């Protein structure tokens, strides 16, 4: 019986998918599609890998937590005084309508109702089954207490009940102010745009603090130590002390040598790479669960990007051969035409 793709990913783990990414790079080297000299100069950047969750609002999280707690309690045989299924549904619907109509005072009133319903269910479970706090419901109760205690300005908030490790990351985008997932650092070759490293970082670290780990992974996968890495202004104050020379692209370029200005311009080539990885390789919406799923999806997306580059290179070779082999015998090179064919063609 063949293993499922889920078991296959769990079997490979992070080291296995990293080896897959390294093999795509080695295949490009063997085919001559990328040169080892290209890997000495790299571009670095970070992006957000969004998790497959609904947009988190306090009202929805409170109602969802109450619903999960009530269902788990009933499965354990705990008879709750009231589950608030009907009242919770009505309060959530009213909250959404008031918020859409920009009647925020009324929306906050419905949110307070949802918070009250959740608190009553939590206290009812604790009264009727003291063992639930240390048993199957301990995780659900902890999440509910965390939701009841967290404030708008708190750090490390809970944004998803089934993916509690999700973080809120603000990258300054006008069209998407808040993204919920984890940060991913990418390393690409400056000249040929091959992905040499992809790594998921949790805890929403500063871009500069991911630089050392990203360059270390790139060197481990390619066997080539980068001599120069070019990043944007987000890498200011990186604190990197390795052998690689770090270039930060500044806004003013007056007085910068022409040779260095070329690599500064090449830094922007990593932006369309990120776009292709997100739109074509499923990094825009990560559906793998857990912290390990974030790491696996980031590396597998990079593998998909490199495999597409290999397929395009092979397609160009096949088109070239088809063009040559499809030509007339007189127009073909001598080494492609059998010895008797030239006499017949003549």
How much is the pLDDT for 172? 83
Residue 248 pLDDT grade (very low, low, confident, very high; cuts 50, 70, 90)? very high
Residue 180: domain span: 5-49+168-310
Same domain, 238 and 294: yes
Contact between residue 242 and residue 215 where contact means Cβ atoms under 8 Å apart: yes
Same domain, 105 and 226: no
Average pLDDT over residues 284-313: 93
Final residue in a domain of this structure, among 280, 295, 310: 310
Q: Is 179 helix (H, G, I), strand (E, B) or coil?
A: strand
Contact between residue 247 and residue 264 where contact means Cβ atoms under 8 Å apart: yes
Q: Quick check: 223 pLDDT over 60?
A: yes
Mean confidence (pLDDT) of the chain: 88
In a domain? residue 221 = yes
Q: Which of these, 284, 281, 275, 318, lies nearest to 301 by C-alpha position?
A: 281
Same domain, 177 and 293: yes
Residue 340 pLDDT grade (very low, low, confident, very high; cuts 50, 70, 90)? very low
In a domain? residue 66 = yes
Give 269-282 pLDDT, tens digit per residue. 999 999 999 999 88
Q: Is 43 helix (H, G, I), strand (E, B) or coil?
A: strand
Same domain, 18 and 70: no
Same domain, 73 and 188: no
In a domain? residue 26 = yes
Residue 342 pLDDT grade (very low, low, confident, very high; cuts 50, 70, 90)? very low
Query: How far is residue 110's CA from residue 128's CA, in Å, rounded to a whole number?
Result: 27
How much is the pLDDT for 69? 93
Same domain, 244 and 172: yes
Q: Quick check: 49 pLDDT over 90?
A: yes
Q: Quick check: 131 pLDDT over 80?
A: no
How much is the pLDDT for 129? 74
In a domain? residue 176 = yes
In a domain? residue 327 = no
Residue 332 pLDDT grade (very low, low, confident, very high; cuts 50, 70, 90)? low
In a domain? residue 330 = no
In a domain? residue 289 = yes
pTM for this prediction = 0.85
- Please give the helix or strand (H or E) that residue 94 lies within, else none: helix 85-100
Same domain, 186 and 292: yes
Q: Quick check: 199 pLDDT over 90?
A: yes
Q: Quick check: 43 pLDDT over 70?
A: yes
How much is the pLDDT for 196? 96
Same domain, 180 and 79: no
Give 81-94 pLDDT, tens digit per residue. 999 999 999 999 99
How much is the pLDDT for 327? 58
Query: How far is residue 122's CA from residue 75's CA, in Å, rounded to a whole number?
Result: 15
Final residue in a domain of this structure, among 158, 191, 213: 158
Neighbours of 301 (CB within 10 A): 24
**Quick one: the chain helix, strand, coil %, rounded to 5?**
55, 10, 30
Which residue, chain included where needed, has tokens 């296959």? 8
Final residue in a domain of this structure, among 158, 191, 221: 158
Higher-scoring residue by pLDDT: 105, 134? 105
Give 139-198 pLDDT, tens digit per residue. 889 999 999 999 888 888 999 999 999 999 988 888 889 999 999 999 999 999 999 999
Contact between residue 91 and residue 63 where contact means Cβ atoms under 8 Å apart: yes
How much is the pLDDT for 138? 82
Same domain, 237 and 266: yes
Contact between residue 146 and residue 91 where contact means Cβ atoms under 8 Å apart: no
Q: Which of these, 59, 55, 65, 278, lies nearest to 168 by C-alpha position?
A: 55
Q: What is the largest CA-CA distance in the chain?
A: 101
Same domain, 41 and 184: yes
Residue 126 pLDDT grade (very low, low, confident, very high; cuts 50, 70, 90)? confident
Residue 133 pLDDT grade (very low, low, confident, very high; cuts 50, 70, 90)? low
**DSSP label at residue 203:** S
- Looking at the structure of the chain, the number of domains it has is 2
Same domain, 32 and 174: yes
Same domain, 85 and 13: no
CATH assignment of the domain containing 228: 3.30.420.10
In a domain? residue 278 = yes
> φ, ψ for residue 179 (rounded to 5)?
-125, 140
């Amino acid at each position: 019986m063949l293993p499922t793709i889920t078991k296959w990913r769990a079997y490979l783990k992070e080291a296995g998918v990293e080896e897959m990414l390294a093999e795509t790079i080695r295949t490009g080297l063997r085919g001559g599609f990328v040169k080892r000299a290209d890997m000495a100069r790299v571009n670095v950047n970070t992006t957000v890998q969004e998790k497959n969750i609904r947009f988190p609002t306090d009202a929805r999280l409170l109602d969802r937590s109450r619903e999960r707690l009530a269902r788990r309690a009933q499965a354990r045989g705990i008879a709750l005084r009231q589950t608030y299924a009907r009242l919770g549904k009505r309060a959530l619907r009213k909250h959404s309508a008031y918020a859409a109509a920009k009647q925020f005072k009324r929306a906050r009133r419905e949110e307070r109702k949802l918070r009250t319903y959740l608190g009553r269910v939590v206290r009812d479970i604790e009264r009727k089954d003291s063992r639930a706090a240390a048993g199957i419901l301990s995780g659900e109760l902890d999440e509910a207490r965390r939701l009841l205690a967290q404030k708008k300005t708190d750090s490390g908030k809970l944004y998803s009940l089934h993916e509690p490790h999700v973080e809120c990351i603000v990258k300054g985008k006008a069209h998407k102010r808040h993204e919920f997932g984890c940060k991913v650092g990418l390393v690409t070759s400056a000249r040929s745009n091959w992905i040499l490293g992809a790594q998921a970082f949790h805890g929403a670290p500063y871009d500069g603090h991911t630089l050392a780990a990203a360059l270390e992974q790139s060197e481990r996968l390619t066997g080539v130590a980068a001599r120069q890495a070019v990043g944007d202004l987000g890498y200011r104050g990186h604190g990197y002390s390795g052998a690689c020379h770090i270039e930060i692209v500044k806004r003013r370029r007056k007085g910068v040598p022409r040779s260095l200005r070329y690599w500064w311009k090449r830094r922007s080539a990593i932006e369309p790479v990120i776009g292709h990885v997100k739109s074509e390789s499923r990094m825009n919406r990560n559906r793998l669960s857990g912290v390990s799923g974030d790491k696996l999806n980031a590396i597998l997306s990079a593998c998909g990007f490199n495999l597409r580059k290999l397929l395009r290179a092979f397609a160009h070779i096949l088109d070239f051969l088809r063009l040559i082999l499809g030509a007339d015998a007189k127009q073909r090179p001598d080494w492609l035409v059998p010895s008797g064919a030239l006499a017949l063609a003549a």
